[in-house]
Structure 1
């Protein structure tokens, strides 16, 4: 209830202006009946209300209705009206020149120029004070002149307080808008990072399974006439490969659908599924060897997925580009790192033709999304990746991943 009443004057500013104008006109007209004889008893009623003072104060009060739009002009008009009342033989005081003080507050509050906000009220107050000496010089410090000085000071103080409060609220509003924009930018950044993560997952899934499907289909077509039984077995494996691809695609794309958030999804792959991954490549005719050095230790979920996807992508590149029949996967566990190496011997069906094709294709792939995606995955979990030809032939991808999640600045500060 209190908050609503505090907002009422701002919502009904015109009503407030009309009430102030009427009140000031009534006070100025009543003050025209008063006179101070200087006997220390204060002003007393000695004459009837002046219609001239009423007309002048009404003019000043009407001018106040435009104080927000034309604060300088309103201050000039109200100050002149106060001087005219003095010229008619009435003492200038807080009552007879009240409209001028309201105009001083208005120009101090609404003016955008700080110099104007301070200088104009001082000039208007000085003009009223000087005009008060035209007919009544003695005594110097009368009640009316004291109220004039007090009115200028009070108007300036109220204007300064109102301007400070307005600037403070504007700063709060700007800070709130900045915070809102920052939250929106952070949300967009998170969405972009999530899209990039899902794009990497889709790339790895599609590249892996399409490479296997292509190899199995080619082998089945080659064996169809001479060895139909083995061709049928390869076609069965092809159906299993495409089914696995569909399941992984459904699990990944399902993350984008809120309606399917309760549906059971495939578990996130990791090194626990490494044997199944190697078996799927061996079915295409690729000979694989796996060596593990050190004591296997669990990885963080992100590093575990990264290790799996890097091995998957590296073997997919071997299948697509190397023209080789053999590859080696090495896992080396140290105290803080897991080093993964995937290499091939560079041999194949046609040594010269295969090596030439591999050189050109591997160079283009190193600039493509395969190696870029693997490197980004490694960096995202605090590791790094190297890829290149081996001196004795073939190609090798080496990755070093931390066994523990990388420490963030927040964690370091808290520790």
Structure 2
């Protein structure tokens, strides 16, 4: 946090931040010019003037780093040639070279840095009549190289931190997107469950109520039996609604009774309710009957439930067949009825058919639905017996 705040301050006050090294060098230059062998004296103006002249371009070092290196180096080299013993050189050039290394690519930084180092060492060696790579000349060459290396390291560090921050921001955005996607999928799934539960049970209640109303005067015993079925169906609807709504509870909510999610073992109860509503239903199983993934069980149950509900509501059928075919790796669910012949309307676009198709697709299966040539309607779903981690 402190580093980020400092960067923001520097970005807002770039000119002031650029001038700070120049001010520091001027203070040092004044102190160096005033120091003598026998104590303090009045600063020598020549040395301070050369230092001040070389520091002027530093005010623009962040905006134009390469021209600033050229200008400061030109002033420092001139000062070293004219007054080799009276200037604080090449301090301004070191700051300029460091700034260039932090703000340019590595190739440019090192090319300029090496050339500047050779120039500084060569001018100093010529002014003091000593070998190029010996003693103080070599020390000044090392200073320029060190300034370049330090700037390059700072640039690399900044680049690394920027990449880390970018990855963190990208990961945060990805997590938010994934969370929103999961929430949307969960809302759609719960909406499908609510649709299946409400549509199925209300359809049965309506049918059984009609039977009871029709037989109330002519056959009270059968009417009473229909009312008993209404009671059982409504209680089952409440249990499934409670289980579905229970998914919306927060972890700290008070516990409540929740019915387990239905599966293929509950088909007999489902079909019993449909038969009580007046529709004859036959259930058959082919292949090697064996346990399947829980998600596949729930999907198969909901497809059979929705298909039989649609048959009862819309088909005016007398009989429906449910076939569960256990294959090598898939469970084929077929629900067909003998309703009146209807003109082909293509794949269904109602919410029930859309929900069934979405359920099958969500676990890696497929679903087709449409009228049969000789009348009636058929729904066929191909569902995987076991789920991969991606679809589980």
TM-score normalized by the length of structure 1: 0.74
Q: Is the 8 A contact 2:336 2:377 kept in 1?
A: yes
**Distance in 1 of aligned mates of 2:310 and 2:389:** 33
Q: 1:392 to 1:17 in 2, by over 3 A?
A: same
**Distance in 1 of aligned mates of 2:21 and 2:230:** 89
CA shift, 1:300, in A, is 1.8
CA shift, 1:277, in A, is 0.6
**Distance in 2 of aligned mates of 1:266 and 1:231:** 29
> What are the superposed Cα offsets for residues 316-366 of structure 1, whole Å, 9 maximum, x if unpaired?
1110221112222233445554433322223xxxxxxx43xxx25x73772
Mark the runs of 5 or more structure 2 residues left unpaired by the alignment: 11-15
**Distance in 2 of aligned mates of 1:8 and 1:345:** 75
**Distance in 2 of aligned mates of 1:253 and 1:8:** 47
Trace 1:222-261 onto structure 2 (pairs within 5 A): 222-224=214-216, 226-227=218-219, 230-231=222-223, 233-258=225-250, 259-260=252-253
Which of the numbers 179, 185, 206 marks the counterpart of 1:193? 185
Which of the numbers 369, 374, 380 marks the counterpart of 1:387? 369
Q: 1:274 to 1:84 in 2, by over 3 A?
A: same
Match of 1:85 in 2: 79
Q: Is the 8 A contact 1:254 1:260 kept in 2?
A: no
CA shift, 1:315, in A, is 0.7
**Distance in 1 of aligned mates of 2:163 and 2:291:** 51
**What is the CA RMSD across the aligned residues, in angstroms?**
4.2
SS across alignment from 1:278? helix
**Distance in 1 of aligned mates of 2:125 and 2:163:** 45
> What are the superposed Cα offsets for residues 364-389 of structure 1, whole Å, 9 maximum, x if unpaired?
77233333332332343344334344
Trace 1:269-288 onto structure 2 (pairs within 5 A): 269-288=262-281
Which of the numbers 16, 30, 33 marks the counterpart of 2:32? 30
CA shift, 1:28, in A, is 7.5
> What are the superposed Cα offsets for residues 49-96 of structure 1, whole Å, 9 maximum, x if unpaired?
623313443565576566446645754664455356346533488x43
Which of the numbers 51, 59, 64 marks the counterpart of 2:45? 51
Match of 2:387 in 1: 406
CA shift, 1:230, in A, is 4.3
Trace 1:71-150 onto structure 2 (pairs within 5 A): 71=65, 75=69, 78-79=72-73, 81-83=75-77, 85-86=79-80, 89-91=83-85, 95-109=88-102, 111-112=103-104, 117=109, 136=127, 138-139=129-130, 141=132, 143=135, 145-150=137-142
> What are the superposed Cα offsets for residues 181-230 of structure 1, whole Å, 9 maximum, x if unpaired?
23333323322332232222122112212221332233344445655664
Q: Is the 8 A contact 2:332 2:380 kept in 1?
A: yes
Match of 2:349 in 1: 367
Q: Is the 8 A contact 1:24 1:99 kept in 2?
A: no
**Distance in 1 of aligned mates of 2:63 and 2:164:** 26
TM-score normalized by the length of structure 2: 0.78
> What are the superposed Cα offsets for residues 209-256 of structure 1, whole Å, 9 maximum, x if unpaired?
222133223334444565566445434533443343233223212212
